[in-house]
Amino acid sequence: MEFTKMHGLGNDFIVVYGEQALPADASSLAVRLCNRFFGIGADGLVYILPSDKADFMMRIMNSDGSEAEQCGNAIRCVAKYVNDNGLANRTEITIETLGAGVQPVQLEVVDGKARRVRVDMGKPILNGLDVPTTIDADPVVGATATVDGRDFTFTAVSMGNPHAVIYVDDAVHFDLAKWGPKLETHPLFPRKINVEFATVNSREQVDMRVWERGAGPTLACGTGACATLVSSVLNGLTDRRATISLTGGDLYIEWDEETGRVYMTGPAETVYTGTL
């Protein structure tokens, strides 16, 4: 199997092209290959597949073998892969995902290589039961999840996958390892949840750290950055355009007031190619 190691702001993936459908052993293969000590090492295993609705389809398996409905950093990597390998000879393409359907993508190309990618992430889902949570409200803002006697106030947003955004005094130094896994599996979230801890520094900039469902702490999360901006607008904390600063770098997120669609702009990088 030929693969390409890629990352979006340090959120890294093993990207595979050439399969006609998701392999039956994709889950177990992801667990084995994503292991950073006995495998290649990655946050997820990404397959670029044919689509009858878009130019390509993306399927992503988390490092624990579960499947993610969507991943903002992975879709930028897929866009870069198909451009850099001559599979799409134009700067606007479409990529189908499980959670968000067909997503239009624009590429900034320099000397034939994609440097930055802007993705139409679609409209956020704000109805609590659809995120999903067990809370029947639309939107879910200011809800409380209690863990080990500590109350966390969160806003629930789905960007094709579920997120709970929690505001803290210092997201950069927040104890992800302690609270992330407990919130991920909280009974309020029937399909588990991605958890973002955010600190708003201005109307245009937010620090964010993430505990990803099925992967744990990662250096960046594109859908999480989108969910954080949406949450921050709903809570009156930021404008509709802001920079979300993650461990691996910055993403620029826009929530268009007229269309209701969210746009994510950021880099993608190729690390190396190999054969397993």
What are residue 122's DSSP bridge partners? 262
* Contact criterion met (CB below 8 Å) for 156 and 170: no
DSSP 129-193: TTTT-S---SSEEEEEEEETTEEEEEEEEESSSEEEEEE-S-GGG--HHHHHHHHHT-TT-TT--
Nearest of 5, 159, 23, 161 to residue 80 by alpha carbon: 5
Of the residues 34, 71, 77, 226, only one is catalytic, namely: 71
Nearest of 242, 208, 226, 222 to residue 9 by alpha carbon: 222
Cβ burial 147-166 (10 Å sphere, 16+ → b, else e) = eeeeebebbbbbbbbbbbbb
CA-CA distance, 239 to 106, in Å (whole number)?
23
- Token match 């896994």: residue? 181
* 77 classed as catalytic: no
Token pair, residue 250, equals 């910055």
Of the residues 34, 77, 221, 226, only one is catalytic, namely: 221
* 71 classed as catalytic: yes
Number of helices and strands in the chain (H, E) = 4, 18
> H or E stretch including 83?
helix 72-84
Phi-psi region for residue 82, left (φ > 0), alpha (ψ -120 to 50) or beta? alpha
Active site residues: 71, 221
